[in-house]
Amino acid sequence: MSLEQEVLQRAQAWTTETYDLLTQQEVQKLISEGGEALTDAFYKDLDFGTGGLRGVMGAGTNRINKYTMGMATQGLSNYLKAQFPNEEISVAIAHDSRNNSKEFTQQVAQVFAANQIKVYVFEDLRPTPELSFAIRHLGCKSGIVITASHNPPEYNGYKVYWSDGGQLVPPHDTAVIDEVRKVQPQDVQFSGESDLIEVIGKEIDEAYWAEVKKQSFSDAGKDDLKIVFTSIHGTSIKGMPEAMALCGFTDFHIVEEQAEPNGNFPTVVSPNPEEAAALKMAVEKAVEIEADMVIGTDPDADRVGLAVRDLFGEMVLINGNQAASVLIYYLLEQWKAAGKLNGKQFVGKTIVTTNLIDKMAEAYGLDCPNCLTGFKWIADLIRKRPDMQFIGGGEESYGYMISDFVRDKDAICSGVMLAEAAAWAKSRGSSFYEMLIEVYHKFGFYLEDLVSMTKKGKSGSEEIAQMMTDFRKNTPAEIAGEKIVDVLDYDSQIAKNILTGTTSSINLPKSNVVQFITDKDSKITARPSGTEPKIKFYISVNSPLAQTEDFESTKQELQDRIGAIKGALGL
């Protein structure tokens, strides 16, 4: 059977009475029009990536809709019952501000209840990290967030958590998928008992905010730090202002034009705080009122974007690697000053995040295990080290976590602590930006860049696959004059030294990632996204910063090296 015939057969099944009338009509329209839209909607089933189930909303097996979410929930219900026989099972559900998130939440809750599973549902939208916290706080076996994080408005998703508050990792992730694949649409029970569904809200909010406050080390400078905050139409408006006030920040200004939760994200092209355009209104307000800092979060409030004053007093954006480095430095300095470091603590990061964090951890006598991309793997680091204390961790894509009361990246807590670091620096006659330069001076100047290419649909997926094949089969001897020394293939789990020909095993789960390390200790990584139709190229270069006065010239040197690498790779 050809792909076209298979797609048509799959689509025609969605025009039967198993599906509601609106879905049948939508699919019939796709069949009539044919083409790429039909193929993309039905050529495969949605799979779990680094962030769970995520896709464009609409009818189809490769789309987010009540049926794909229903089958995922039915499969998860079956798995939970098998994992916890003869036990009372409960789950917690939260949702973000996206279109249809509230409706999807109600439908998912009904499926759990129909399977005799107790459901705690937040009364309204809530930050993703609060859902992670609520799972352990309530003693749940699992949890769901209906979100597509920072994806465009047409997306939604279904992020699954386990009983420890972390996202699914092996063996549970593939096992849940196996159960989901056994489920047919007609197997899903869409109507459950209402007495098994309990609405939650204020009590969980206050317990979560109290844990955020416990992470604070100092009130120094908080009254003197002026902050501009934008939720970019997302859920952090339901937590960030309260957490900031509770932790002592009084000069806090909200971008009102972006404060209303809205799944169309009307004031931005993309609600992604990694992109300068998403923070434009907040930066303009900061310039207007002479603020020290801008904090912006994505729709489900797990990522944080920052802007601060540079050495010349201009507002500049701080990337994820830089923010993570300053945050970890602040935490380590405070732990050291309090006499709490005894070698039984650790910090964590992903393989594409700056090695500056590894250097800092080493200087403080701590371990810094690296994990695959995706915060579920940082939660897994905590799970695997029950006798060690987790101080904090981060990833380059603007996600950070402090302590372990939440087991996912947390824009609320990390936003508060980034502001505390800035306030502490200001109280010492310094600034957030100057603290970053201090870190570079002490541990090495690391500079990173990210190139992201979008390749949509089936043809885009095939193009990305071919690019990764080419990287593996045609490894260059050098890139921009830097000799390749090590090639790390996380799919084959083999690291090879090109100069000696020796190989070693990579002790991490398989992942479609290729990484080059050069003789100048540059790190170049190619990785298809697990949640978007993109392939990402991460570039990291470094150099000593002997004198802080050399900051600008060293930065230019590193930027030139990055530019040369990008040019050599055709990026």
Q: What angle do CA 312, 313, 315 make, to 5 degrees?
A: 115
The class level of CATH for 46-200 reads: alpha beta
Eight-class DSSP state of 8: H
Q: Which two tokens stand for residue 297?
A: 């979060």
Which pLDDT score, from 0 to 100, does residue 288 have?
Answer: 98
pTM for this predicted structure: 0.94
Q: Distance between CA atoms of 339 and 213, rounded to whole angstroms?
A: 20
How far CA 290 is from CA of 225, 284, 311, 313, 314, in Å, comes to 11, 10, 15, 10, 10
Q: How many C-beta neighbours within 10 Å does residue 387 have?
A: 5
Residues assigned a catalytic role: 149
Residues 228-240: tens digit of each pLDDT = 999 999 999 999 9
> Can you name the CATH fold of 218-443?
Alpha-D-Glucose-1,6-Bisphosphate; Chain A, domain 3 (3.40.120)
Domain ranges (residues) in the chain: 1-43, 46-200, 218-443, 446-569
**Cβ atoms of residues 34 and 4 within 8 Å:** no
Residues 271, 96: contact at Cβ < 8 Å? no
pLDDT digits (tens, 9 = 90+) for 91-115: 999 999 999 999 999 999 999 999 9
108-147 residue pLDDT tens: 999 999 999 999 999 999 999 999 999 999 999 999 999 9
Percentage of the chain beyond pLDDT 70 is 99
| Residue 67, pLDDT score | 94
pLDDT digits 0-9 by tens, 321-364: 999 999 999 999 999 999 999 999 999 999 999 999 999 999 99
The CATH class of the 446-569 domain is alpha beta
Please name the residues in contact with 133: beta carbons below 8 A apart, sequence gap of 6 or more: 165, 204, 207, 208, 211, 405, 406
153, 264 in Cβ contact below 8 A? Answer: yes
Q: Evaluate whether 46-200 and 218-443 have a shared fold.
A: yes
Beta bridge partners of 305: 296
